[in-house]
Structure 1
Amino acid sequence: MNATSGFSLKPTLRGERVTLRPFTEADVPTMVEILSDPDVLHFTGAPDDDETADSALHAWYTSRNDQTDRLDLAVVNRANGEVVGEVVLHEWDPANQNCRFRTLIGPKGRDRGLGTEATRLIVGHGFTHVGLHRIALSVYDFNPRARRVYEKVGFVAEGIEREVLRHRGEWVDATAMSMLASDWATRSDT
């Protein structure tokens, strides 16, 4: 399968703790709530006064399933059926079979391994079903919890993006990380 068809198809992926599935209109209020969480705003580098209109978020989340160049999936806690965040493969480069990854997990999904499992599921899908060669990400230095998740899943630090973000009056570095299909294939936990 190639990435064109791979991102056109919006799968449902099931793990022990989470299900990743396409967004529905019913998920919008939950995502609005998650995106107003102070920790989500901080760790994603959003401005503290970010008040994206509910109508803009509604338009965004209800259009995710129509996108053919990216894959946005809701992270659902299997224990209670609640949406706790999202995982996204985006910025697809078809010539080089790579893309970028991002995620956010709201307060109801933290500290229970849900984000780690969600990351493993979507990365595995990208490599084994979409046929990606490389998945990259950047993680801000003030988010060591996310970096630990990425390292646990198998992402490798490649370098420092110096002073990439002006946040709360300070310049912040980010670490560029990536994983190759060959890295994924040799993991014992896949």
Structure 2
Amino acid sequence: MSISEMLAAQPVLRTPRLTLVQLGPDFLDDTMAALADTDAMRLTGTRGEFTREQVLAHLSRLPGADDRADFAIVDDGGRYLGEVVLNDLDDDNLAMNYRIALTGVEMRGQGYGTEAGRAVVDWGFDAVGLHRISLDVYSFNPGAQRSYEKIGFQVEGRARHTLLWDGEWVDSVLMGMLAEDPRP
């Protein structure tokens, strides 16, 4: 099965505390609430306002997409915790970008991001057949960087002044992981 076919057939992933299911229109209200989280928007460098119709259109395109995998992170009680995504498929180089956003400050620091990230990275390398997964994290988000390092991502460099937020320039820490890298 090709990478595109694997992405289109995105499975449900399970961890000790979480279930990762395909993000889609069923998560519209949760996604709208997440977009109202100003701290999460700052941590991800997300600007702008999104209408319900725009978000619904985006979510409606996700199920069955053959160039990305968007997972809703749900705890054992069925509560939506955020999303974890592999996107920007580079099929020729077996590479994708990784991103995650947890909803609400109370979700951060609980290990949910690391747990969900490990499951998605393992699936990306072991089932999908990726060679490289990369990300960048803003320097004002050291907690996320620590989580990524626990998953196995390594710092590869720094891009200076990639985000202008509240009148201040912020650097991006560039991180990557290869299929053959150790997974803690």
Give the TM-score normalised by the residue count of structure 2: 0.95
Structure 2 equivalent of residue 119 of structure 1? 117
**Residue 99 (structure 1) aligned to one of 96, 99, 110:** 96
Aligned AA (1:30): D
Q: Post-superposition shift, 1:3?
A: 1.2
Counterpart contact for 2:135–2:176, Cα < 8 Å = yes
Runs of 4+ in 1 over 3 A off after TM superposition: none
Structure 1 equivalent of residue 59 of structure 2? 61
**Residue 84 (structure 1) aligned to one of 81, 84, 87:** 81
Structure 2 equivalent of residue 164 of structure 1? 162
Q: Secondary structure at the match of 1:139?
A: strand
Aligned AA (1:17): R
Partner Cα separation in structure 2 for residue 5 and residue 128 of structure 1: 15
Aligned AA (2:167): G
Q: Secondary structure at the match of 1:112?
A: coil
Q: Post-superposition shift, 1:66?
A: 3.3
Q: Secondary structure at the match of 1:43?
A: helix
The aligned runs of 1:133-172 (5 Å cut-off) are: 133-172=131-170
Deviations 1:101-138 (A, max 9, x none): 01100115322211110000000000000000000000
Structure 2 equivalent of residue 175 of structure 1? 173
Q: Post-superposition shift, 1:27?
A: 1.1
Structure 2 equivalent of residue 128 of structure 1? 126
Counterpart contact for 1:77–1:109, Cα < 8 Å = no
1:70 aligns with 2:68: yes
Q: Secondary structure at the match of 2:89?
A: strand
Give the TM-score normalised by the residue count of structure 1: 0.92
Calculate the aligned-residue CA RMSD, in Å.
1.2
Deviations 1:159-187 (A, max 9, x none): 0011111111111100110000001xx33
Number of equivalenced pairs: 183
Aligned AA (2:74): V
Counterpart contact for 2:7–2:64, Cα < 8 Å = no
Counterpart contact for 1:23–1:62, Cα < 8 Å = no
Structure 2 equivalent of residue 42 of structure 1? 42
Identity, % of aligned positions: 39
Aligned AA (1:10): Q
Aligned AA (2:28): V
Partner Cα separation in structure 2 for residue 69 and residue 119 of structure 1: 18
Structure 2 equivalent of residue 9 of structure 1? 9
Structure 1 equivalent of residue 21 of structure 2? 21
Q: Secondary structure at the match of 1:65?
A: coil
Q: Secondary structure at the match of 1:182?
A: coil
Structure 1's unaligned 5+ residue stretches are none
Q: Post-superposition shift, 1:62?
A: 2.1
Partner Cα separation in structure 2 for residue 153 and residue 22 of structure 1: 21
